């Protein structure tokens, strides 16, 4: 195992220390392992809290800041944060108008965020609404979740709801917007290699150099099928076919198209994939209104990518275009 770490037991603490040093505009609570925007709680604004296991950076810590999240809770690698962390984050961002929990659909995340919401209501009277993200069309069930997993659609949802919260929309409206984005988002991923969890020291699964895995999860879960390595155009078709048929997307629809790297794939290859995805969408007469290309929801050093399509209207596009100022996403500022 070759990794730029000191000790596997110290990876998260060391990474948070580095984040704090690189981004003094943030507040990093090492004890509770939460990352907060520096001005939280923001008066009159709904607080947005998300989080999950480490290893998916920049999700979620890279999305803390004006226009997106107020706090992110950091678990061990591929492990949910615990209720006490989530409670601390919720309390820290509560400005008296409620807090939205954005929760990816994994069993540990759902359970721990639910417990934290109950504790917040009982101990501080904070109104918390939770929205579960489940945009992955690859599988219905996995080792980590009952039902569909939350993957790339989470980034789109956090950006759009973050903008709505900045506009001082009330909690019920921001939560409903989150449900709309989730309902209109579909994702599918693939891998060329596995990843290695530092504490394990070996790849989560094995792939021959002639193989690729279709439908993988962001924790290194194997996909729905293993196939021979194909050109990008064929790989894009394998990802897009289940996405387009699931919502279903139709001629005349307008989408945000997000091509995401899994951590070990260079940007040049992601743009090759984006070109193929755009070609397929043109053939289906689905219009791309906005695009995002890059490694934003990763699985450590896994090589591969995912595609997310979110069907949008003018309000959702305006919220997507609204200013955002985080360490991983920044525009309009």
Catalytic residue numbers? 56, 219
The dihedrals phi and psi of 259, each to the nearest 5 degrees, come to: -105, 115
CA angle 183, 177, 242 (to 5 degrees): 20
Which residue pairs from 25-31 have beta carbons closer than 8 angstroms and sit at least 24 positions apart in sequence? 25/65, 26/64, 26/65, 26/327, 29/88, 29/92
Q: Are 294 and 57 in contact (CB under 8 A)?
A: no
Residues with Cβ within 8 Å of 313's Cβ and at least 6 positions away in sequence, in order, are: 254
The dihedrals phi and psi of 237, each to the nearest 5 degrees, come to: -65, -40
Q: Are 121 and 127 in contact (CB under 8 A)?
A: yes
Cα–Cα distance measured from residue 183 to residue 185, given in angstroms and rounded to the nearest whole number: 6
Beta bridge partners of 191: 213, 304
What is the pairing mode between strands 287-294 and 254-261? parallel
CA atoms within 13 A on the CB side of 260: 29
Cα–Cα distance measured from residue 55 to residue 5, given in angstroms and rounded to the nearest whole number: 13
Cα–Cα distance measured from residue 68 to residue 83, given in angstroms and rounded to the nearest whole number: 22
**Residue 175 is inside which H or E element, if any?**
helix 171-183
Q: What share of the chain is helix, strand, coil (3-state, %, to 5)?
A: 35, 25, 40
Cβ atoms < 10 Å from Cβ of 242: 16
Cα–Cα distance measured from residue 26 to residue 32, given in angstroms and rounded to the nearest whole number: 15
């Amino acid at each position: 195992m070759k990794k730029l770490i000191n000790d596997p037991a110290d990876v998260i603490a060391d990474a948070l220390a580095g984040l704090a040093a690189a981004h003094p505009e943030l507040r990093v609570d090492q004890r509770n392992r939460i990352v907060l925007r520096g001005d939280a709680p923001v008066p009159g604004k709904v607080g947005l809290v998300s989080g999950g296991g480490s290893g998916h950076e920049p999700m979620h810590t890279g999305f803390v800041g004006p226009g997106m999240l107020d706090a992110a809770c950091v678990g061990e690698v591929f492990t949910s944060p615990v209720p006490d962390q989530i409670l601390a984050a919720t309390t820290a961002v509560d400005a008296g108008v409620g807090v939205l929990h954005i929760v990816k659909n994994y069993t540990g995340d759902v359970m721990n965020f639910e417990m934290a919401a109950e504790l917040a209501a009982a101990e501080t009277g904070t109104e918390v609404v939770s929205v579960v993200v489940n945009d992955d069309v690859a599988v219905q069930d996995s080792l980590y979740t009952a039902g569909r997993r939350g993957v790339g659609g989470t980034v789109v949802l956090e950006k759009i709801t973050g903008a709505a919260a900045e506009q001082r929309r009330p909690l019920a409206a921001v939560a409903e917007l989150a449900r709309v984005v989730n309902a209109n988002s579909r994702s599918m991923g693939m891998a060329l290699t596995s990843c290695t969890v530092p504490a394990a020291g070996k790849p989560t699964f094995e792939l021959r150099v002639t193989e690729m895995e279709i439908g993988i999860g962001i924790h290194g879960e194997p996909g729905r099928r293993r196939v021979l390595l194909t050109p990008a155009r064929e790989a894009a078709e394998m990802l897009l076919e289940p996405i387009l048929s699931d919502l279903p997307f139709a001629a005349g629809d307008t989408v945000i198209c997000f091509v995401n790297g899994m951590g070990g794939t260079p940007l040049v290859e992601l743009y090759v994939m984006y070109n193929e995805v755009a070609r397929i969408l043109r053939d289906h007469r689905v219009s791309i209104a906005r695009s995002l290309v890059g490694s934003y929801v990763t699985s450590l050093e896994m090589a591969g990518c995912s595609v997310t399509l979110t069907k949008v209207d003018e309000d959702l596009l305006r919220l997507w275009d609204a200013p955002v100022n985080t360490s991983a996403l920044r525009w309009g500022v």
